[in-house]
Amino acid sequence: MNIREATLEDDKELQDLQAKCPQGKTLIVSLVNTPDFFARAKAYESYRVYVACDDHRIISSAACGMRQAFIKGSLRRVGYEFQYFTSPDYRGKGIAKQLHKQIVDYLTQQGAVLSYLLVMEGNLPAMRLFASLGFEHHCALVMPGLAIYKEMKVAHEEKMWCLIPIGFKDPDHLTMLLRYLNNRALARGVEQIFCIGERNHPFLTRCMKEFVRFDTNMHLYVKSLQQHVSLSDAPVYVNGIDL
């Protein structure tokens, strides 16, 4: 077996393998990156997609992307790991561990101070795997999907809107903004909008009470790549691009 960086010529083979690798046991999630397998990774400022091969046949893959994030008030470079999947015939052989080592080497070279990933609730095999790789569970998250099906009342005097992805001054302001986004989405034929936040956060219950919600629970895992770097207990805001 050998591990290498994926190339554009691997696109179809990676899609076929990904389709055979649903994630989790109690919650089954099956997604395939089409029409371009690499489109998700290209959303980051720099990225790598690695594959493990057995006799030139791809049997496993994992990806990572570099981005900037605020950690304890300072803007730092961090790595996001995603899209781990292995052929059912090759699981339990330590392949994911070898792919992770390749990713950590790349992230370290790029100056990442930590690496993080998201795991869907119910994906117990992934939770056990990443715990064994040195990741620590940081917090439980929820991704509320808001159904867009009717127009909502928006005060006419509100002429200007400012969306700040890291917080809001008053929950009522966010409620008004969500109504506005709902109406814009309805006009454009969008069927759902979503965000990601910590479970039981006040904005989830107060600001979204007018919406029909479809919640997806997940967990944030973090691994420090430099000494004395860790997340604080402050609220966590996850960029939707990570999904």
Give domain limits for the chain.
2-138+218-242, 143-215
Q: Nearest to residue 43, comparing CAs of 60, 23, 63?
A: 63
Q: What is the pLDDT of residue 86?
A: 95
From first to last of its 243 residues, what are the pLDDT tens digits of the chain? 999 999 999 999 999 999 988 775 554 454 678 889 999 999 898 999 999 999 999 999 999 999 998 888 889 999 999 999 999 999 999 999 999 999 999 999 999 999 999 998 888 889 999 999 999 999 999 888 778 777 876 554 443 333 444 556 677 777 888 888 888 888 888 888 877 778 877 667 777 888 888 888 899 999 999 988 888 777 777 777 787
DSSP output for 155-204: -TT-------TT--S-HHHHHHHHHHHHHHHHHTT--EEE--EETT-HHH
**What is the domain class of 2-138+218-242 according to CATH?**
alpha beta
**Cβ 115 vs Cβ 81: under 8 Å:** yes
Q: Cα–Cα distance between 118 and 221 in angstroms, integer?
A: 6
- CA 5 – CA 151 distance, rounded (Å): 47
Reference 141, options 206, 84, 78, 200; nearest CA is: 200
- Distance (Å, whole) CA 184 – CA 66: 31
For CA atoms 182, 188, 191, 195, give the dihedral sign: negative
168 CB contacts (<8 Å, ≥6 apart)? 174, 177, 203
Distance of CA 65 to the CA centre of its chain: 11
